[in-house]
Amino acid sequence: MYDGMDSPGRNDPCWCGSGKKYKKCHWAEDEHLAELDGKGLEVPPRSLLKSEADIEGIQKSAEVNIGLLDYVGEHIKAGVSTAEIDKWVYDYTVAHDAIPADLNYEGYPKSVCTSINNVICHGIPNDKTILKDGDIINVDASTIKDGYFSDSSRMLCIGNVPENAKRLVDVCHQAIQVGLDQVKPWGRLGDVGAAINKFAKKNGYSVVAEYGGHGIGKEFHEDPFVSFVSRKNTGMVLAPGLVFTIEPMINEGKPDIDDSDPDGWGVRTVDGKLSAQWEVQLEVTDNGYKLLSW
């Protein structure tokens, strides 16, 4: 087969573990992927496609991830330190028999990323950073439960936020739906980023090119990389069962990044202007998409 994996006989159990005969399960989809591969398109190997059991596991992980973000949103306010947010996330996660995926990932020292105002991503929580009235903050959490990974983030506005900051947060949130509207079975991944980039620019903003979404489920970061400065009709074919995140980082000013923070993680806007990010995790389905974490 196109991806080098062995294929069962038509009357044998499907490779996905569903228990169904191959011809009643993934046979037609595999043949279509092989056909598209033969035409030179980028297609996902079957190792990236999630089974029904995988999706069920991811959803259980996502329940924890969604719940902890709900908890943060209900308790966050001016005067709270980002270290407190980190403790909320850790305590909530372990109380639900799960593991914070961020903690110790490639040396990252905390359980969540807290990126405030001009911090684009990967802000490390600490005792000295205290939220104040007018701040905007991205809280980016990832969870492992029973070996399955979930990932999503939200923008939160602290107190009386200036109109320009609120508009950036709102437009970035709208951009998520603009991207989701492009997720169609057998479509192209590049359509997602192209639509988001066009929408952001139409609203007077820029999109960070260096960071993007990613495949996820059995590992924290899987293929494909999801660019938000991509071109239409490019990128991986969106086969049913593919799971990835949409998480554009949209800047108020220039798209350029400053990743010279001494802590080795924090990334800021070069011009000091605001940045916003929302993140959702989804599965491509036979009819469109299904949101898994948000």
CATH number at residue 159: 3.90.230.10
- Alpha-carbon span 168 to 174, nearest angstrom: 10
What mean pLDDT is predicted for residues 213-240?
A: 98
Establish if 250 belongs to a structural domain. yes
pLDDT tier, 238 (very low <50, low <70, confident <90, very high otherwise): very high
Establish if 226 belongs to a structural domain. yes
Q: Which helix (H) or strand (E) holds 53?
A: helix 52-75
Nearest Cα residue to 127 out of 85, 72, 158, 81: 81
The number of beta carbons lying within 10 Å of the beta carbon of residue 273 is: 17
Residue 9 in this model has a pLDDT that exceeds 90: yes
* pLDDT > 90 in the chain, percent: 98
Among 17-26, 68-77, 111-120, where is mean pLDDT lowest? Answer: 17-26
Give the mean pLDDT of the chain. Answer: 97
How far is Cα of residue 146 from the mean position of the Cα atoms in its chain? 20
What pLDDT is recorded for position 203? 98
pLDDT tier, 71 (very low <50, low <70, confident <90, very high otherwise): very high
Instruction: Name the residue range of residue 251's domain.
Output: 42-293
What mean pLDDT is predicted for residues 277-291?
A: 98
State the total domains in the chain: 1
Q: Could you tell me the pTM of the whole model?
A: 0.96
What mean pLDDT is predicted for residues 83-103?
A: 98
pLDDT tier, 196 (very low <50, low <70, confident <90, very high otherwise): very high
What pLDDT is recorded for position 220? 98
Residue 219 in this model has a pLDDT that exceeds 90: yes
Structure tokens, 213: 């979404």
Establish if 144 belongs to a structural domain. yes
Greatest CA span in the chain, whole angstroms?
64
What pLDDT is recorded for position 1? 84
- Alpha-carbon span 263 to 221, nearest angstrom: 22
Establish if 31 belongs to a structural domain. no
Establish if 135 belongs to a structural domain. yes
Residue 45 in this model has a pLDDT that exceeds 90: yes
pLDDT tier, 116 (very low <50, low <70, confident <90, very high otherwise): very high
Establish if 249 belongs to a structural domain. yes
- Alpha-carbon span 245 to 289, nearest angstrom: 12
* pLDDT > 70 in the chain, percent: 100
pLDDT tier, 92 (very low <50, low <70, confident <90, very high otherwise): very high
Establish if 120 belongs to a structural domain. yes
Residue 91 in this model has a pLDDT that exceeds 90: yes
pLDDT tier, 256 (very low <50, low <70, confident <90, very high otherwise): very high
Q: Quick one: DSSP state of residue 64?
A: H
